[in-house]
Amino acid sequence: MNKPDIKLNWPVIGNGHIIDFLAKSLAADQIAGAYIFAGPAKTGKHTIASFFAYSLLCQNRPASAKAMEGKSIELPCGQCPSCRQHLAEEVVRDEDSLASIHADFHLLRREKDKKFISVDQVREFVRVLGLSSFLNSYKIGIIKHAESLNEEAANALLKTLEEPKEKVVIILITTDLDMLPATIVSRSQVLAFRPVKSDIIYNYLLKERRANRSTAKNLSRLALGRPALAVKFLEDKDFYEKYLARTKSFFSLFAPDLNERFAAVAAVLGEKASGQEAAKTARKILEVWQGLARDLILVDFGQEDLVQHEIVLEELSRQARQVRLPAAVRLLESIRRAEEYLRANVNAKSVLEQVAMAI
């Protein structure tokens, strides 16, 4: 038997082990009914899930492994009606806008300002996937932030996974595999995504995105193994400026006047922020602060070459001379506790103010 030559047209940086596995699965026509794409945010999970779905739906993909023998196949082809429909959407570059108008491709995500994906959402998702394919092909369902399924929703999904239908594929995307019920994990093919080496991201920004060396170096460090985040920093000036504002707010935490610290918290969080949107923003702020707190400790140990936020190395060095190591460690612990408080639905502003008081 001559194995097919499968070439995947997927715009992904790193995580080649995932690509290789899915390419072999496509070549052998051995497709699981459920997958879990687990790993850090912005490591390519959404992009790979989308292009895996597009490859399964590609109308130029042979119908069986036998029909693929000895052929050189490019997936997705980019030419058939199904592929053109996807390419017209131009959504896969940004996971926050992941969507589809393809009749056999469906996305389930948490509703805005809601903490969980509801059971009603899952039931509708399952119902649509149970309908006949419009193109006599696969029906693909992607669940974004699958860790936010509530108990009822998870149980409703489990019933579908226990009795999988032919040519129905469900992909759960999560940053926290431990938050998913073990019963769902055991019935899925788990693919673990890893952070991408900074030199790989650096070379990509330099060669493919035409960034200058200084920018490529700074952003590859700042992204901390998340290539999609590095690209977002490069392409979205407002997003990058917002990140820098959160970085600046970290140094405001060391102001001698407590009222000045609280004012910095209010400014970076936004006075109108409330509910789950405020909690989401607070989590992003804490992620930035946590990285900077680690950087402070690294600078204190003379490990500047490992610092994530090289863009503010001068300020980090100045602050490290004033903040003793035990205080920096306490700050890091306070930030980690704050993340737990947010998960427990404590008011976002109060959580950030507690961190400001801990210094």
Q: 5-192 belongs to which CATH class?
A: alpha beta
- Mean residue pLDDT of the chain comes to 91
Q: Quote the pTM value.
A: 0.88
The residue-averaged pLDDT of 107-122 equals 92
> In sequence order, what are the residues at sequence separation of 6 or more whose Cβ sits closer than 8 angstroms to the Cβ of residue 315?
251
The residue-averaged pLDDT of 115-123 equals 95
55 within 8 A of 26, measured Cβ to Cβ = yes
Q: How many CB atoms lie within 10 A of CB 42?
A: 23
The residue-averaged pLDDT of 259-283 equals 89
The residue-averaged pLDDT of 28-38 equals 96
* Sheet arrangement for strand 34-38: 105-108, 139-143, 168-174, 34-38, 189-192
Residue 90 has pLDDT above 50, yes or no: no
Instruction: Enter the tokens of residue 280.
Output: 């989401």
Q: Which residue has the tokens 């805005």?
A: 112
